[in-house]
Amino acid sequence: MVHEDGVDGQPQPQPQQQQYKRLGGLVVGNYCHDVLFRGDLPVGETLGGAASFVSNVLDALAPSTSLYVAKVGADFAYAAPHPPRVVSSSSHTTLFHAHFPPVPAAGGYHGDRVLRRVRACDPIFPADLPDDIRFDYGLAVGVAGEILPETLARMIDLCRVVLVDAQGMIRSFDPVDGTVRLVPLRSTEFFHLLPRIGFLKASAEEAPFVDIEEARKWCCVIVTHGKDGCQVYWKDGELHVSPFQADQIDPTGAGDSFMGGFVSGLVWGLPVPDAVLLGNFFGSLTVTQIGVPKFDQRMLQHVKEELKRRAAQHSGSCGGTISLDFHKSDTHEDFLEHLTGAAKLTCTGNPTDLHTNQDNQCQ
């Protein structure tokens, strides 16, 4: 006889809940080789891929450990801070060519780049993500179509909140020459995942393809406007966050550095506008150098000490819980002034002139 409380009156054994290891962040996106051209002449070769720029900020500032999932080919030429998975001995690393127009005789701004994906490494599949770990946050930072819709869905299952760069969802690639183009988010297989995403970042160029008014119904949307700062949208409001001035040399990776700074601010307990300000700060520093920037260690320590101070002031410690407070803190302007002062401790490392005299922040 079966009773409600078990067999023959005996308590029914309860299934044991699986215990998972916990980490701070899960960062997903392939490393790349980037070659920069001025006109038809190559002027620089660098490590690329959003993960390389994100880790450059996140490793320096975030108080918790992150796991990076990235793939490369056997030809990978750099010592990445977080070793990627080499797909096979015959595979190739994703390769981008960024073409900038020739420098005009009058100097000044020389136009925007044309980006081409020359080669693509294997995509990242759900099976490439760990089964036995859960994360406080996830960063989906694909650049070459490597993050599949089913992989993003799996990230959402593994993470408390997921932040997504729109470029990984709306980029398409010309089948002949690999030129990067954009498609409407609504037409992709990622669209149905919007209600499960916490934050979506898009550049001003990408924003029309995202459909901000639709996306903001489901998640927070952050649009970066270069020298004009950022606009933050959510279901019930929007606000503007100030930029930082910078002499632009190369915009590559600025949006990725923004993401690194933004999520670092969130995990330190900053409200969303203050975290966006920190993202703007690192985006502005990135455009002043070619490739993954070399940040001044004094500056990084200065910023981290300020984050520790703010965390202690508002919550006593940093617990890794992502804030969904969309109001600027009472000390937002003080934070802006502090970061402006910290920028004076920085020094640029690559003087090659791609763009000059442009106040910019992140693309």
Cβ atoms of 69 and 128 closer than 8 Å: yes
* Residue from 104, 41, 110 nearest 356 by CA: 110
* Residue from 211, 356, 201, 183 nearest 266 by CA: 201
Residues annotated catalytic, as ranges: 256
User: DSSP strand E in 217-359: where?
Assistant: 220-224, 230-234, 237-241
SS3 labels along 19-57: CCEEEEEEEECCCEEEEEEECCEEEEEEEECHHHHHHHH
Question: How far is it, in rounded angstroms, from Cα 27 to Cα 305?
Answer: 24
Measure Cα distances from 17 to 14, 20, 68, 136, 310 in Å. 9, 9, 27, 19, 36
